[in-house]
Amino acid sequence: MPEDVPVTNAPPCPAPFALQALADRCVQCGLCLPSCPTYALEGLESESPRGRIALARALDDGRLAPTPATETHLDHCLGCRRCEAVCPARVDYGAILTAARAGQRKRRPPSTRQRAAEWLAARPRTLSALLALYRRIWPLLPRAARPLPRPASAVRAQASGIEGPTVAVFTGCVARSYETGLHAAIRRLLASIGQHAVFPDGQTCCGTLHAHAGDHATARALAARNRAAFAEADTVLTLASGCHEAVADAVDGTRDAIVHLAEHADRLRFAPRPERIALHLPCSQRNVVRSDRALHQLLARVPGLEVIVLDAGFGCCGAAGTQMLTDPARAVRFRQPLLDQLAASGATRLLSANIGCRLHLANGTALPVQHPLELLADCLARPPFRP
């Protein structure tokens, strides 16, 4: 489907979740409160999963009239889903949140920054052109006019010479401009296990950004585009943990690239790397994809590599999709303890498996911030080719 076809022309999207039925599973035990970053920051019941479920239910059935305060409490949720990991009733909080945000979208229009982010994410080619311009003028901009770090320079793709199984790679939207080095890295890593990476044309944003903001119609349209783009692929690898769930829901055969490589780790050979690195584990990696164990296993195969896991603060870096753009001051409050821990750790670089987290963290430190697979590719012993 061409990029210039407006995604808003998609068929009307029915309510994807029955909010009341989902909310009724919550027994209000409160075990989620200690795990919630916003509750840790504010100490307010209305800033907790239990409080937000009660707000969402009351707003949905009309028992509570919406106010700026109630809307703000829903806005503040980071969507980290740490609460799901500790919930004894297995409440699907992620579904409740997206349903509540859909209700919000009907009650009030999204902010200008949110609308701009959604529009650009749904049009990756336009976004890439804009980010190319941003890269050129970035040195001339004052710090306040740099909402994102400088995009990466282009890396020329080279054929791996591998004739093994073909694996398709999902690139998403903003990652096209920021992950050229990562795309070269996944080519090298896959070649090392006898597989060939391809990047199908026609793929687009995963739609997570839109779904989390309550725009389910656009999210469904983007999912349809990706389903068509990967129709011929048996295996599709995701590189960003925040994109994985949406892509997996849309495309059969979707796998997290870290898990995929860990299953073939016996074919990977790494040279010694005497370096201390800091590892940030994104909420989506820990609570949704759950590839953190596989990542630790891969990093442990690199001789001499010392890994310091960043765990300071509130449990989330605060990027939260577009929140680092729509509410930057609040996002910085969540990020700062992690940056302080990073500065004190003596690490020479920071690794994180989600593009949004990396952009947010990179905007607060001068140290290199990479996807873990970039470092692993650099550590390959006698790689089959160099980008």
pTM above the 0.75 mark? yes
At residue 169, the 3 state secondary structure works out as strand
* CA 276 to mean position of chain CA atoms: 25
pLDDT at 367: 97
Could you count the other beta carbons within 10 Å of the beta carbon of residue 195? 22
Looking at residue 272, what is its pLDDT?
Answer: 97
N-to-C CA span, the chain: 31
- In this structure, what token pair is assigned to residue 352? 């994180």
pLDDT at 154: 72
Locate 254 and state its tokens: 């979707």
CATH 3.40.50 occupies which residues in the chain?
A: 268-378
CA–CA dist 366, 74 (Å, integer) = 33
- Is the alpha carbon torsion for 255, 257, 121, 60 positive or negative? positive
**CATH number of this structure's domain 19-107:** 1.10.1060.10
The torsion angles phi and psi of 213, rounded to 5 degrees, stand at -100, 5
Sheet holding 350-352, edge to edge: 305-309, 275-280, 350-352, 369-370
Among 3.30.70, 3.90.226, 2.60.40, 3.40.50, name the CATH number for the domain at 268-378.
3.40.50
Could you tell me if 283 and 315 are in contact, meaning their C-beta atoms sit under 8 angstroms apart?
Answer: yes
How far, in Å, CA of 298 to CA of 273, rounded?
A: 13
Per-residue pLDDT of the chain (387 residues; tens, 9 = 90+): 335 434 433 333 434 458 999 999 999 999 999 999 999 999 999 999 999 999 999 999 999 999 999 999 999 999 999 999 999 999 999 999 999 999 999 999 999 999 999 999 999 999 999 999 999 999 999 998 999 999 988 766 555 556 679 999 999 999 989 999 999 999 999 999 999 999 999 999 999 999 999 999 999 999 999 999 999 999 999 999 999 999 999 999 999 999 999 999 999 999 999 999 999 999 999 999 999 999 999 999 999 999 999 999 999 999 999 999 999 999 999 999 999 999 999 999 999 999 999 999 999 999 999 999 999 999 999 644 444
- Residue range(s) of every CATH 1.10.1060.10 domain in the chain: 19-107
Torsion of CA 222, 226, 228, 232, to 10 degrees: -170
